Structure 1
Amino acid sequence: MHTDTERGNSKIKYILSGEGAGTIFVINDKTGDIHAMKKLDREEKAEYTLTAQAVDRDTNKPLEPPSEFIIKVQDINDNAPEFVNGPYYASVPEMASVGTSVTKVTATDADDPVYGNSAKLVYSILEGQPYFSIEPHTAIIRTALSNMDREAREEYFVVIQAKDMGGHMGGLSGTTTVTITLTDVNDNPPKFTQSLYHFSVPEDIALGEPIGRVKANDRDIGENARSSYDIIDGDRMDIFEIITEPQTQEGIIRLKKPLDFETKKSYTMKVEAANVHIDPRFISREPFKDTATVKIVVEDADEPPIFSSPSYLLEVHENAAVNSVIGPSTSNLPKHQKSPLMFSIDRHTDLERQFNINAEDGKITLANALDRETDVWHNISVIATETRNHSQISRVPVAIQVLDVNDNAPEFASDYEAFLCENGKTGQVIQTVSAIDKDDPRNGHFFFYNLAPEMVNNTDFTIKNNEDNSVSILARHRGFSRQTQELYLLPIVISDTGNPPMSSTSTLTIRVCGCSSDGVVQSCNVEAYVLPIGLSMGALIAILACIILLLVIVVLFVTLRRHKNEPLIIKDDDDVRENIIRYDDEGGGEEDTEAFDIATLQNPDGINGFLPRKDIKPDLQFMPRQAQAPNGVDVDEFINVRLHEADNDPTAPPYDSIQIYGYEGRGSVAGSLSSLESSSSDSDQNFDYLSDWGPCFKRLGELYSVGESDKET
């Protein structure tokens, strides 16, 4: 580096700054020469940007502005080509034509590709000829032979070389390996291992059971080795079939129809094996199929009975008589049956013993009456057993269908309950009802609806047919009231179209309810009718709960105060447990008129009028009972009679009640219990009347002390 201001000035000093200054590059501060102090690698860094400046050696003041320059590292061929993705694996179909592309390899060279030939690569094959070739500049590997056979050799190992300097002497090189596998194509037909197969089979072999296996080998693999088998010729080809076993690629010969040793003892057929997937390139070379002969010998066996049908379907009406024959016989067996047969029903399939079967001819009869609405189908199993060899048994399923008979009347589809608004309109639809019928007619159900005869002329409701097996209930007028009548019962007669027709009467319950202006039901209770307007049910319940709580508090308060004031010992006057009224005073003559009401004692000849209960309303009203006792009847007997009447009176409640006995004893010589007339009575009058009434009061005390159950007396 030199400055234009030098001109023999020895005070100029050169300084260097920038990338690598002072380490990789240094400058002679007197001459301005720049030297590289380390070995440079273009592949590591290709160029450096530096700044040089001339300054006064004494003052270090710049003599001119700094100058920027770039040092570029020139490339040399010091890197060999590399295959960074190696080793490679590729495949190509066998029998591929010459020049078929297999794969492409790529090598990289770290040298400068734009300077010289250091990075100019040329590819070649070191190993793998004459089977494969490679294009020198594109590195595409191609097939070099057309008859490479996978069945002869499946895998090839190829070595590829990449050389720089355009392949000239002195260049560097690198290698990689390519493993090439030939993929299979269907170029081989299947071949049977033998031309004739022999099989023996007993005549009682089950349908679908394998009789024998044949195998055609194929040198191909995978899908190309798959073969299908067919029977192409032979006698009675419809008796046998052949299928392909997917895993082993074997042909399995199976029985399609029953064998009979007495009819035919051997069969000969020809089977063919053919490839499923055929490559059209090789069809002209050879056929992709092979054939073999199969001979099957039938062996005699003691076979069980064979029914003429694998299953039977019988029909019977549900009103069929017991012991009637159901359907055709199940005993149609081959004519050459060697032994007589005995028929029976497997009772595990007929637990209710609904059917019987004739042991000789196999005719099924009805043992019990059938009901289609309970069971539509009965599936039983009929057993045929050889009488000479009970081990030879055959079974056949028999399905018995019970046919419908119109033996059920239609009825409401559900438990309908209709609601009628008090503010409803005339002709308003109250409820739509439909019917169901347990029977199953062939043409479907069709019902007729009519009001019961006693309701035809009613003025409240009518019905309308909707033409869809349903009817609508209409109100004939408006102005229904819950207080007048809150419940209506509307009987409807429903008839079907069966033969004979069946009918029944179903009753629809209609409740009169209070509704809003838009017809929404709000309440159907009569009690709710008198509720104050503006109070909801929740508010009324809350008020009632508060009242009950207040009453409970008051009762507890009163009870606690009474317990606090009561003495520990109950006085006799306060003991009312037996409901006995005691008069603990002595007759005082005229003062007796103040002790009780004489009018309560009636004359024996009078009648005790019937006093109705005011605490309950009896369901049944009974005539008043005669309280008169005949002359000479003892009071004890009279009370027993009244007790018997009370026990058998249906209107008598089961709780305590009061019975008034307005009876004056005849046995007393006193005409009256009163002493009002004692001053004017005869001197021989007997005032000891209490001695005559003593047994009566004693008996009353016994009755009241019997127990709670007799207090009603």
Structure 2
Amino acid sequence: MDSYITMGYRDWRWLALWWHHFFLLWSTINGQTRYSIPEELKQGSVVGNLAKDLALGLSDIFDRKMRVASEAGKQYFSVDAGKGELVVNDRIDRETLCGQSASCVLPLQVVVENPLRSHRIEVEIRDINDNSPSFLTQESNLNIPESVALGKRFPLESAEDPDVGSNSLKTYSLSKNEYFSLKYKDTKNGKAVPELVLEKPLDREKNALHQLLLTALDGGNPVTSGTCKIIINVLDINDNFPVFNENEYKVSLKENSTKGTFVIKLSATDADDGLNGQVKYYFGSRTPDSVLSTFEINDITGQIVLKGALDFERSKSYLIEITAKDKGIPEMEGNCRVQLDVEDINDNAPEIVLTSKPSPVPEDAPGGTVVALISVRDLDSGENGKVTLRLPKGSPFNLNPSFSNNYELVTSGPLDRESFSEYNIEITATDSGSPPLSSKKIIAVSITDVNDNPPIFKQPSYYVYLKENGVPGSILYSVSASDLDFGENAKISYSILDSKVQDVSVSSYVYINSDNGSIYSMHSFDYEKLKVFQIQVQAKDQGSPSLSSNATVHVFILDQNDNAPAVIYPSSAALGSLSHQRMPRSAKAGHLVTKLTAVDADSGHNAWISYKLTEATDASLFTVNLYTGEVRTKRAVSEQDDSSQRLLIEIKDDGEPVQSATVTVSILLEDGLHEPILDLRQKVSEPSKKTGRITLYLILSLASVSVLSLVTFLILAVKCMRSSRSSDSCCMTRSDCDNYKNPNRNLQIQLNTDGPIKYVEVLGGDMLSQSQSFRSCMSPMSEYSDFTLIKPSSTTDFKEVISVLDASLPDSTWTFESQQCCSWNTLLFRSYWMLGRCCAPIALVVVQRDLLPPPTILTVASALLRARDERRMRLNTQTK
């Protein structure tokens, strides 16, 4: 019946407590949120509205990943993501968390992200009367001799109640009897110890056994209790108890004390004699195992020594009950207590706790960006528990304290992923103990890449040498660029910037593989058309915004020997490779029959031309100069030589493979065909007035030729300046096609003679440069002159040009109109002036230095000068 009443009363108490604490009280102290709840709330019970109290919206609960971290180690609370409420996650037992402490506060840390922030809250756990007072043993035996005087006190076992405050143990009650009453003795720790007081003398012969019921009551509502049965045996004779010097002893010991360390020596005296006065010492019968495993007592001397290890963090003090018993029959015993306080030493290193794992940080993050949340704790107390944190020198991070023992790891300077893609931040925690203890924790922070580095080519310019006539689609070169960034920011694509090559987009010449930078040709190149061009290659990454850089590829076309020599003079040789020449039979050895002139559109060694006589009617009569192409007699012509001589001359270049052309020269030997010089020589031998006249005529003819040539050039210049656009005028203007800057600056005309052919060397502009270019316009007004401009890089077939000229004009004179742009160095100028019988035709020849090899140029120049000097000497001799 009593049990049913008790259970109903307890249910009513729980219900009252539930409704009482349903409306939770909370307050903010020093900027912190504090809640108060009773212990033993059911799982899911609401503690408080975190979203409201922290001024957060319900959407922030999910979006910012609100979570609760408990410093107690076990997760007693969680956040309801739907309502933003702090709810109970597990059973909370105040006695387990805080023991007998008057205040039980559970600190929590609420963490939200984006941006990363933390809030400290405290939950006070209030005690409820969920524990009844209890005794260590349900039955206690006392041996009391009958001779005990009235008023003698017998200490009883104290009950224990884990609850605190009004719910803790308040009083004791003793079942009704006539011999004993119940009184209390106060101790130094404030607890009341129940004692039996003898109110009436004992008489073993009347009553040898007494049974009492000791009840312990708490102050809760409703009141709970616990009982202990006390059995008293009445003994006879030994009527003196061992007595200690003090009822309670207090000592202290450092927690690092070693095994066998002396604690205290106790002493108790017994007034009896003999065995009844001999005392032995024991731990109390209710001594817990924690004391028995840590201490031991010498039963003879009463000395207590350390048996196990002390740990201030596990137990700060020990209350040891000691019993002194004599050897009388029955035994008499006395009791005392030893209060041992453990002194803390610095034996625990600080512990660094990572509250929130670090997120990747972009390398352009501003200073002060929160990377991680850190807390630190030390199990020691006082100065031994004060902890400071330290980062390595030069680290681009700082630690900012947020609240008690909590810190924010933030950036303090610029970050560069290309230098450090990940930081292993070593944090050192050091306490203030002596000696100080420290611990370290490494936090890995990864740095994410931003596109802050453009692609870099291995070199700013590339030089590519490509043979002409290559296969279209073949690879020219491969450029390569690198990017220090990562991922998409480092992916490079290549492209060719649009530019012009001979007024044509460069994309029509080459294309590039955008992935690997390989450049391919679109078609075959011709050195005679294009010698060099440039390609602007751009490398662009895939970042946002993308970055790029450029490099220049210089492509040089290398000449191949793909052009055969073309005969320029005599012009008739271009038509069927046959040239007709006449020569007097009176010609001596070394007589210049004719001079072959050929050009090769190639360059360098491929354009070096040599002449060779391969077949002849009489090989002993003629010879051909290897470099100049001059056809001369080896010996004097005799009457036995055939009047018709035929020579086959091969013209070869110096390329590989060799290209060649052949010219057939037909020479007619005639009697009575004399040079004007020979007639002059016969006439000057007669010292008469006719000699002077002939000399005068020769001087006048030469002067007339010079004047007429000068007048012709002046007329051409005037017409050119008046109307440069008219196609019917004879002019020389700058070419608009090549955009050259320097026109003909220095025009030099030098007259050379060799036999019947007169050579004039024309030098125009800077001979070392190819920058002089003109447009030629010839009018067929003069029947005595012709003007030929030939561009070596042009595809003009010289044979075809000469064939057209010879087919359209008489043998003695021809005119050619050309609108091509060309260099003065490639100018071939021939003019015939018919000024009477005394004047032979004059050939104006320009030697192109880049078409003929240097030996050929020197040979031609030397031959021209030598012919001039020999002619002068002959004239002087004949005149004398």
User: TM-score with structure 1 length normalisation?
Assistant: 0.35
Question: Please, what TM-score do these two structures have when normalized by structure 2?
Answer: 0.29
